[in-house]
Chains A and B, each alone.
Chain A
């Protein structure tokens, strides 16, 4: 379980990346969603003891992120967003190195690495140089590190960004098979919908709302999204498109006028909050 109280982070004097946020995460898989710059990475780096908060506190399974950082490092795994494999090492060596860093011995880590490599589908490439692998395979090395660590808490920062649909599904299934509590960040709404029991929506360093996908979408029950080139009643402008929400039954008439009808996704929560998704 993760609890944050008034967690705040300023970079220098200008950038206020995380603005005094409080939340509790206790579901199996939580997605933190938000656009680029929302503060997801900063939050994850603070929770995983990589970065000190400017103020506020947080705890992970009861351990304080500052006072008990050493304990947290034993129970938690954190895979940074932009980590890339050192390209002259093989997946096996890279995973073993990581497990070694976590304190595992040579033989034990070889066994754990092999197991995780099979699970993420890298077996045939396990001894190749990482340089020779595709983007998706490189990313899988890091997911395998998290799998092999068998940790209680797993932080994955945008584990599937930029990957093809197939690799994403493979990574999702690896994430679902993790035993510990997983916290991923993403800006793909369908990823949050496919994976998580709990969603934390962030915007500009703040939490917009939190809940299961179903709970979050409750206000939209029975509605559809209408995308129009013209201004509609109670519509929001996103780029050159006006977006409004209407009852399913009413949608018909809009289609006649040439509007586009879409089913509701988590995107709509942001749009409704006035967050311009394109900015």
Chain B
């Protein structure tokens, strides 16, 4: 494991804050505007759901939106080619860039935690559980991004795929409303999207939905799913070209 590259990439990411602050804003914009819409339409009733789901959305979006970034590193800058011939493995590369992206999510997560406090939703327990969920969603959505990047042929495809995926993860999953609105079989299907198990669990933890056994199935499901996406990303990505 080349931790030096991981440290260096996070350092580089932090150093470039002056160029990347707009990225933080745009990442925050989408869930916040959805929260406002949902809040108004439900006359405030669904606001806590949008708060809990918004935080998870942000990590998911940051993950899948990095398809565009990873693709340009690969095709436009030929940066990946440069790194392939060093001791950095694809696993190191993936983690370095995952954490490099995560750096940009931290301010948004903090923003949501502040809203949670204002809304009286945050306890040490919900705080820690949310962090755990955010990490897992981040890893799984980033793995999906990594996997897709290894399969596209040019950058032009990357933007639309990123957008489609982030909409899927955010609006098709019951991120902004109670999962209990959905018929059971639809919920089962949606479990394939990592945001689904994460929000079902989060809604239960925050006491927004009645505590049902299903929410606890979701924890192992999320774990297994995250591991599966990660393994798929690592093992199916062609690193040395054939």
Contacts and interface: CB of A to CB of B under 8 A. Distances in A.
A96 B11 CA distance: 10
A220 B19 CA distance: 57
A218 B240 CA distance: 41
B85 A76 contact: yes
Interface string A42-59: 000100111110000000
A45 B5 CA distance: 22
Interface in B4-37: 4-5, 7-9, 11-12, 15-16, 19-20
B11 A106 contact: yes
Most buried by B among A45, A74, A83, A100: A100
B12 to A, nearest CB: 5
Contact of A96 (B12, B20, B83): B12
Contact of B8 (A51, A109, A145): A109
B81 interface: yes
A271 B87 CA distance: 42
B184 interface: no
Contacts of B82: 78-80, 83, 98, 101, 145
A236 B61 CA distance: 62
Given A83-B78, A83-B82, A100 B241 contact: no
Nearest to B83: A101
Given A51-B241, A83-B79, A83-B82, A89 B87 contact: no
Contact of B242 (A52, A82, A145): A52
Given A48-B85, A88-B20, A100-B4, A82 B78 contact: yes
B86 A98 contact: yes
Nearest to A93: B12
Name the interface size band of chain B. Answer: 20 to 34
Contacts, number: 97
B81 A83 contact: yes
B76 interface: yes
Interface of B is mostly: helix
B228 interface: no
A51 B12 contact: no
A50 B8 contact: no
**How large, as a class, is the contact surface on chain A?**
35 or more
Interface in A174-209: none
B4 A106 contact: yes
Contacts of B4: 100, 103-106, 109
Interface in A100-159: 100-106, 109, 129, 145
Contacts of A76: 85
B139 to A, nearest CB: 22
17 contacts: A49-B85, A50-B240, A73-B87, A76-B85, A80-B81, A83-B79, A83-B82, A84-B77, A88-B19, A89-B16, A96-B12, A98-B83, A100-B8, A100-B9, A101-B2, A103-B2, A106-B7
- Top 8 closest pairs, chain A to chain B, by CB: A100-B8, A101-B86, A78-B85, A88-B19, A101-B88, A83-B78, A100-B5, A80-B81
Interface of B: 2, 4-5, 7-9, 11-12, 15-16, 19-20, 73, 76-79, 81-88, 240-242
Given A97-B12, A103-B4, 5 more contacts: A45-B241, A70-B87, A73-B85, A74-B87, A97-B9
